[in-house]
Every structure is written in structure tokens, then in C-alpha cells.
């Protein structure tokens, strides 16, 4: 056995309770195209994002008229999963519907 070294003085550093920063948030954005049927987009928005028929129709029309629109804001993994679900549903039904995620832009 070696000699034990025991500190003479100890200092206790009191920590402030850890304040966790909120996770970075991502917006899921639907992109317009000329081929995907409107009804299909509305069903996808309802199914993947849990929106009502009225809200899904409003989002679809906004995307149709403005070229793009935010469907929801989520943490990174949830946003990525929803984007994948939209793309998979679109592929399965042979529609070119595109969906992307991007960091929520900082408030002005
Ligand atoms: N522009 C499409 C049409 O006229 C409808 C549409 C809306 C497509 C939203 C994609 O993300 C989209 N059939």
C-alpha cells in the first residue's frame, strides 16, 4: 500500500442550479409544385402534422399561392421525422411534393 495523500483544505464551489438553454427549433416548410393534387397535400398535412381539415386547407392554399409555407415548428429530430414522412407519402403516391426543414429565423 502507498502513502495516502489527504488534502488539508477543501473548497466547496456552490453551483447555481443549471439553467438549460431551450433546444434549437426547426420549422418544417412545404414547397409548392404544379403537379401534386391539392387534396393530397391537405390529407398529408392532416395526417403528418395533426392539423384540422380547415387548418390543413389554409396551409395548402398559402403554399399554393406563395410558393412555400411553414407547417409546424419542432425540435430537430421531430422535424426531420415529419419531413421524411411527407417525402415518403409523396413518393408512395408518385407526387413530386417537397418538404424541407430549416432553423427558425431569429425574431426581428
Ligand atoms: N400547386 C398544386 C396544384 O395546383 C397544389 C399544391 C399545394 C402542391 C401545396 C404542393 O405544397 C403544395 N395542384
59 lines ligand 1 (CB under 6 A): no
- Rounded CA gap, 64 and 31, in Å? 8
Contacts of 81 (CB under 8 A, 6+ apart): none
Domain 25-103 carries which CATH code? 3.30.1390.10
pTM, two decimal places: 0.85
CB 48 within 8 A of CB 88: no
Q: Structural domain boundaries of the chain?
A: 25-103
64 lines ligand 1 (CB under 6 A): yes
Q: What is the pLDDT of residue 74?
A: 98
The pLDDT-based confidence of 12 (bands split at 50, 70, 90) is: confident
Radius of gyration of the chain (CA): 24
Share of the chain above pLDDT 90, in %: 79
Q: Which of 51, 60, 70, 99 to mutate to test the pocket of ligand 1 (most atoms within 8 A of CB)?
A: 60
Amino acid at each position: 500500500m502507498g502513502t495516502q495523500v489527504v488534502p488539508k483544505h477543501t473548497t466547496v464551489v456552490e453551483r447555481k442550479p443549471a439553467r438549460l438553454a431551450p433546444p434549437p427549433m426547426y420549422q418544417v416548410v412545404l414547397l409548392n409544385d404544379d403537379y401534386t393534387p391539392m387534396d393530397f397535400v391537405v390529407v398529408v398535412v392532416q395526417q403528418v402534422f395533426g392539423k384540422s381539415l380547415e387548418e390543413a386547407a389554409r396551409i395548402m392554399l398559402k403554399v399554393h399561392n406563395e410558393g412555400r409555407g411553414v407547417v409546424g415548428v419542432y425540435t430537430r429530430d421531430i422535424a426531420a421525422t415529419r419531413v421524411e414522412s411527407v417525402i415518403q407519402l409523396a413518393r408512395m403516391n408518385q407526387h413530386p411534393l417537397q418538404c424541407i426543414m430549416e432553423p427558425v429565423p431569429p425574431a426581428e
